[in-house]
Amino acid sequence: MKIVILDAYLRDPKELNWDRFKALGELEIYENTKPQEIIERIGNADAVLVSETPINKETLSACPGIKYIGVASTGFNVVDTAAAKERGIPVTNVPDYSTVSVGQFTIALLLEICHRIGYYNDAVYAGRWEANPEFYLEDYPQIELAGKTMGIIGFGRIGKRTGTIAKALGMKVIAHGGKQTDAGKAIAEYVCGDRLFAESDVISLHCPLIPSTQGIINKETIAKMKDGVIIINSSRGPLIAEEDLAQALNSGKVYAAGLDVVSDEPIRADNPLLKAKNCIITPHMAWASKESQKRLIEESFENLKAFIAGNPINVVN
């Protein structure tokens, strides 16, 4: 079996690598792949692993040898899963590798909005505290989360993990989306979308990017929200209509946003959120703890191993 990994970039390659895949077949590894390189690099490969590199219908037609596509991610919107299914190609994902990391990072974004620790640290080192006549600085209000309501859209593994931490901070948690379970009900109250928009002080997005969720945060849904709501997105950028959110931030309807993802990545200089008020943006890094990356490699390996054995797991199509 020939195996090609099209975007194998790891943040700590000294300790993390894809070498174990050599036990499953002939292996070619590319740290990242440009769109014009995809077909040539896949060539006659049997198995293809991707993270952000798109695999569309045209690529599948041009590479008829593909028998398996592994997405080294929880989200799998980069692959045309319907076209793959038509060709009998299973597409797998890694559903649980980043749950702990993304849940923690989501709350970190929220706490940064509430306390602006990075901002105040920079202010101290810039000499502003030393020069201040008062004993403290206050450019942004400090916000307590206890007693406030977090609304989570997409209550799967990561949504539940985020809700558990929010509940530990004293927040009321409500949720919309995903199958209702006893485990979910122990964390949150399941509500309809309109009620979530109306009651939440904080809205956190953890749903997959599918046609029904694309642009779920837009001027119409923002109008249903409380004045001064906080929006967090560590899922997929296109869940938000970015021009609408930028306008809401600038008007004050939305107090602040914490975003680890945007619609076009890496971010473009003309993204309206770069000029919006109270918008914290990080470079799609919530998933990337060392522990999370280790699980990603291990579980991607197990997915391909199971496919080769004739018992595929984590198939999404």
Positions marked active-site = 236, 265, 284
CA 241/CA 216 separation, integer angstroms: 8
HSE at residue 243, side-chain half, CA atoms within 13 A, is 1
192 Cβ neighbours under 8 A, 6+ residues apart: 176
- Work out the number of other CB atoms within 10 angstroms of the CB of residue 102: 25
CA 91/CA 71 separation, integer angstroms: 7
**Three-class DSSP category at 135:** coil
Residue pair 28/45 in contact (Cβ under 8 Å)? The answer is yes
* DSSP summary character for residue 226: P
Shortest CA distance to 252 belongs to which of 229, 284, 274, 221?
229
Q: Which amino acid is at 170?
A: G
Residue pair 90/68 in contact (Cβ under 8 Å)? The answer is yes
134 Cβ neighbours under 8 A, 6+ residues apart: none
* DSSP summary character for residue 202: E
CA 287/CA 235 separation, integer angstroms: 10
Residue pair 267/75 in contact (Cβ under 8 Å)? The answer is no
CA 209 to mean position of chain CA atoms: 10
CA 316/CA 137 separation, integer angstroms: 51
